[in-house]
Amino acid sequence: MSHEITRTVIASIAKLKRISPELVRLDSTFEELDMDSLDGLDLFFELEEVFDLSISDEKARSFRTVGHIVEEIEKLLSPAGDACQSAE
């Protein structure tokens, strides 16, 4: 996984929840991080802006861990992901 994407996602979650980035791991669930649906919306709006991409609501609801978010962003930023993203 891209270290830059991972760092950015972890930093965004840490800032949102006002916790140390060291407490956020790739296998951390949203429940473990005490993230509710509003936190999730805020996070996805920020990540969409930072990475200049769009994450569908359906896809966003399917995420269970920080690692899932990182993987999806990597897919969307890959050349093949660009084609999928523009087709939506």
Sorted by where each starts, the structural domains of the chain and their CATH numbers stand as: 3-87 (1.10.1200.10)
Q: Computed from CA positions of residues 48, 49, 50, 54, in that sequence, does the dihedral angle turn out positive or negative?
A: positive
**Active-site annotation holds for 36:** yes
> For every one of its 88 residues, what pLDDT tens digit does the chain have, with 9 covering 90 and above?
489 999 999 999 999 999 999 999 999 999 999 999 999 999 999 999 999 999 988 998 899 999 999 999 999 998 875 544 444 4
34, 36, 52, 57: the catalytic one is: 36
